[in-house]
Structure 1
Amino acid sequence: MTGSRITNHQSRSYPRGVLFDLDGTLLDSAPDMLATVNRMRAVRGRAPMVLEALRPHVSRGARAMASAAFPDVPPEQVPELVPEFLAVYREELGLHGRPFEGVEALLAELEGDGTRWGIVTNKPETLARDLLPGLGWASRCGVLVGGDTLAERKPHPLPLLHAAQALGLDPGSCVYVGDDRRDIDAARAAGMASVVALWGYRLDDDDPAAWQGDAMIEAAADLLDPAVWPGR
């Protein structure tokens, strides 16, 4: 069955360029984040946090995760926790997380079709770049843009426009795949088609349909079908 599906795909093509968010889209990094906040909680004499409580906050960054881990800390004091979070996270980086199911097959299929792919994340660039060798992506990822690479970060379109230029592609020939509203807003502002990664992280009250992405996809493996990709 798998063989016949791949044969059918060979008569079609994927977008010329695909850009991905990292956490919650390519990588299930929530276990690394959980190890981080639980080390912070332990030194304060607090019980471990469970994964299900942290997972929805992962795509929103260090500040959101620190706030979720320490809900009694006043909002104006949460930024003070971020440097500690990042320092501990660097020690847990890549030790617990793994690519989402279907991601490795998808990347291989894109590469086999000649599609260039890259990563645009709001994670600090050094942290994102340090993850790539362990995932086997360092030589395969055509461009990596972090949240501190440029003067702007998502939802501003600059990171996506920069990434497309680095790949030598027009933004209109690229598709951006992400699991957060900021991803979809950035893609729209950059003139790129977008895919909402429903397998990623989001809060219970988020309504991904309201983000108005060009496609909503339940699982990474569904993107193995070229027909579901928008913008071509």
Structure 2
Amino acid sequence: MPLTIPRAILFDLDGTLADTAPDLAEAMNRIQRERGLVETAYEGLRPFASAGARGLIGAAFGIKPGEDGYEALRVMFLDNYAEALAEKSSLFDGIPTLIQDLLQHGLAWGIVTNKAARFTDLLIPQIGLQEAGCVISGDTTAHPKPHPAPLFEAARRLNLQPNECWYVGDDLRDIQAGRAAGMPTVAAAWGYCGHAAPISWEADALANSPAELADLIRHSIAQ
């Protein structure tokens, strides 16, 4: 799908707008410390931050959803995270400038994340994203990404058609959700990205930094 002129830019949260990996990793390492285990190195956890509990538990304990012990770890991890979710989290360099760029061009912007609302609602004002035109959490709709439902809901709240919005994310599920919703997609290569190369996701464009994304937007508007 070509990058048509957007009326809004929708963003994933973890690994796209905000670097939340330090607090997510600490919530996991706390479990390991309390169990007398060696902590997983931050470098081993960071790539899985966009996948939330599922990804981080898999990286730290090698356990998948449905396997013995997973649910107990998930509850402990989420409780730990809720207690300290904005200690070290911050916006990526260039994001405040990018948002100002959007506003100067008259574009709306919003957030579509798989993070549950009980975390999203606490985190967003603490890291300076409270002016988002809409915030769709992982439990706002009946299905999280890669289902398109959250993106459809974001477009609805902005009074736009889905194809008038771009979706920007650092995980394959983001690109899959955007495609399913009929939105032009941009892979945020500055984010966590798991162990997959974003160029393989078949996004409509790839940006290596928020500044590159701003250039893509300006170019599309100028056409």
Q: Scaled by the length of structure 2, what TM-score is found?
A: 0.91
2:37 maps to what in 1? 46
1:141-156 equivalences under 5 Å are: 141-156=132-147
Q: For residue 215 of structure 1, what is the aligned residue in structure 2?
A: 205
Corresponding letter in the other structure for 1:211 = W
Displacement of 1:143 in angstroms is 0.7
Which letter maps to 1:90? A
Once the two structures are superposed, the pairs formed by residues 20-169 of structure 1 within 5 Å of their partners are: 20-71=11-62, 76-77=67-68, 78-138=70-130, 140-169=131-160
Inter-CA distance 132–71: structure 2 relative to 1 (3 Å threshold): same
Alpha-carbon spacing, 1:99–1:74, altered in 2? closer, same or farther (3 Å): closer
Write the distance in 2 (CA, Å) between the matches of 1:17 and 1:125.
22
Task: After TM superposition, give the deviation of residue 202 of structure 1 in Å.
Answer: 2.4
CA distance in 2, matches of 1:72, 1:172: 38
Distance 2:23 2:220 in 1: 30
Taking the aligned partners of 1:87 and 1:22, their CA distance within structure 2 comes to 20
Q: How many residues align?
A: 217
Contact 1:19/1:174 (8 A) holds in 2? yes
TM-score w.r.t. the length of structure 1 is 0.87
Per-residue CA shift, 1:108-146, capped at 9, x if unaligned? 1111221111100000012011111112222x1111111
Q: Give the gaps of 5 or more residues in structure 2.
A: none
Q: Aligned partners of 2:210 and 2:61: how far apart in 1?
A: 32
Alignment of 1:15 onto 2:20 = no
Are 2:110 and 2:154, in contact at CA under 8 Å, matched by a contact in 1?
Answer: yes
Instruction: Please tell me the residue identity of whatever aligns with 1:220.
Output: P
Deviation, 1:93, is 0.5
Q: Secondary structure at 2:67's aligned position in 1? A: helix
**Partner Cα separation in structure 1 for residue 182 and residue 37 of structure 2:** 46
- Preserved contact between residue 11 and residue 110 of structure 2 (Cα < 8 Å): yes
| Deviation by residue 1:90-121 (Cα, 9 ceiling, x = unmatched) | 11201111111111110111112211111000
C-alpha RMSD of the superposition = 2.0
Whole-angstrom distance in 2 between the partners of 1:203 and 1:155: 15
Identity percentage over the alignment?
44
Cα distance in 1 for residues equivalent to 2:66 and 2:199: 29
